[in-house]
Amino acid sequence: MSAHATTSLEDSFISVHRKDPSGDSDPVHNIHGSHEDHQGTASAMESDAGAARTMDLTAPRRLELSARRPDMLRTLKTRLDEARFPDQIEAAGWSYGTESNTMKYLTREWLHHYDWEKELATLNQEYEHWTCEVNGLQIHYVRHDPWAELATEVDPETGEEEVLEGPYANPEATVNENGEIIMPLLLIHGWPGSWYEFGKAMQLLKKRGRYQIIVPSLPGFGWSQAPTKKRFGVREMAKTLHELMQKLGYKHYVAQGGDWGAIISRTIATLYPEHCLAIHINMLPCLPPRPWRRPFQFLKAIAGFALPKLVYRNNPREQASIEGLKVYAAEEGAYFFIQATKPQTLGYALEDSPVGLLSWLTEKYLSWADLDPLQPDSWPFTKTELLTQVMIYHSTQSITSSIRIYYEAVKTKDIDWMMKNSVPAKVPVGVGVWRKELFMVPKAWADDYMNIISWHEFPVGGHFAAFERPVEFEEEINGFFTREEVLDAFTAKRRGLKI
């Protein structure tokens, strides 16, 4: 088979690689179309298509990240070079939206200094990328599991042992060389994030030597296939990621997430408490305590929402949480409503205009992170890292499918369902409270809906905790998942005991 052959099974953009025993990757083919050279003979194309039909596309397979369109970089540079910028009210700053000078600065950086091919090569070199079919979709995920062994089989004709393309033979290792319990850890991103926001924290977690790490791209984000039917909301997302963990052999696991990742983590824990044994979240949308369960806390919550400075005068963090929710509703929430009502209309603009996409995403990163948007040198992530997040959406043409999560979550009432259903008490919950988080409520609210055994507040950091403060984030989640309560639950479950 030609290394550059393509098939047209579906409309996607991932290059599948077979891993040989030496560790080298041999390009096999590109399923669903790719950036590879489309030249070749008709007979070669027919042969490749036939081979693709015989390949088990449901099995886990190594892949190399690539872009969807062969002319993407050339077209991008032209569009950036010819960009037109709107006027701006004098001394408006960021009060009207993305500030003009910042946009022009980032556009120049993207055009003249950012090297996507270099960054893409780094992503392929530093992380192990895989794909497999789950819940009817091809799901991309990054995997780190040094204890798993590649599955092998013996060729009946030659008698030689052959390494299979995807499945692992021993996915549930129990302890490392130091006798420490090993746990499968599912990291779940949100919007406008991607798997990449966990990259720096993931490298730190690897050094711990006790986590089997899975970081998926949510369906419709980046290199994961987008749903084509309605009503693929939060519960379908949760089902997909849970089935991915089961398919990879991780019967019991823990999960962490912020933004939509926090919502999906809570949903997984609620739906699959026999498998998801603990969760950690760094965003906490929550209803007030139920009056028939905690009448005093309910009354305090209602009064506190109306008069936060009075009711929470002795707790600045809780006062800031309530005031932050009000500011979000009044000044930040418009994007939510347009993405939850007319995602397709917005998608045309964001897909067609790279500067429009940059403006839409940059405003979220620079408004929701804990930083001064007018001081790029002080940002907790580099310009290159920010542009890589934007390029993941642009190069995979996934911005429209990504924002549909808002529409589907509202139409299916999945958020209402999650807010009204308690996480089973046997699933311990950890909460990291970063100073500038968008959605955070007083702990007393959340105590009515989940068993919070760890609550840590941080003086610096915003909505993108893993991306902004990777060292603190990694220490926080490692500290939670290695608590005695979590480790005991893993030990009990692996021994078949009821908890």
Task: State the catalytic residue, choosing from 253, 406, 407, 449.
Answer: 406
What is the token pair recorded at 221? 């984000």
Closest CA to 98 of 412, 358, 464: 358
Task: Give 3-state DSSP helix, strand, coil % of the chain, rounded to 5.
Answer: 45, 15, 40
Task: State the catalytic residue, choosing from 48, 259, 370, 414.
Answer: 259
| Chain-centre distance for alpha carbon 45 | 35
User: What is the three-class DSSP state of 355?
Assistant: helix
Closest CA to 396 of 2, 6, 5, 14: 14
Q: Give the pairing of strands 61-64 and 14-19.
A: antiparallel
CA distance 279 to 277: 7
33 pairs with which residues across the strands? none
Report the chain's C-alpha Rg in angstroms: 23
CA distance 464 to 439: 12
**Cis link prior to 60 (omega < 30° from 0)?**
no
Question: What is the phi-psi region of residue 87: left when phi exceeds 0, alpha when psi lies from -120 to 50, beta otherwise?
Answer: beta
Active site residue 365: no
Which DSSP string corresponds to 384-398?
HHHHHHHHHHHHHT-
Active site residue 129: no
Q: Give the pairing of strands 211-216 and 183-188.
A: parallel
CA distance 67 to 478: 34
Task: State the catalytic residue, choosing from 140, 189, 280, 463.
Answer: 463
CA distance 260 to 369: 16
What is the token pair recorded at 268? 């997984």
State the sign of the Cα–Cα–Cα–Cα dihedral 31, 33, 34, 39.
positive
Q: What torsion, rounded to 10 degrees, do the Cα atoms 432, 435, 437, 442 define?
A: 70
CA distance 373 to 366: 6
Buried/exposed 61-78: b ≥16 CB within 10 Å, e otherwise:
bbbbbbbbbeebeeebee
Active site residue 406: yes
Provide the annotated active-site residues: 259, 406, 463
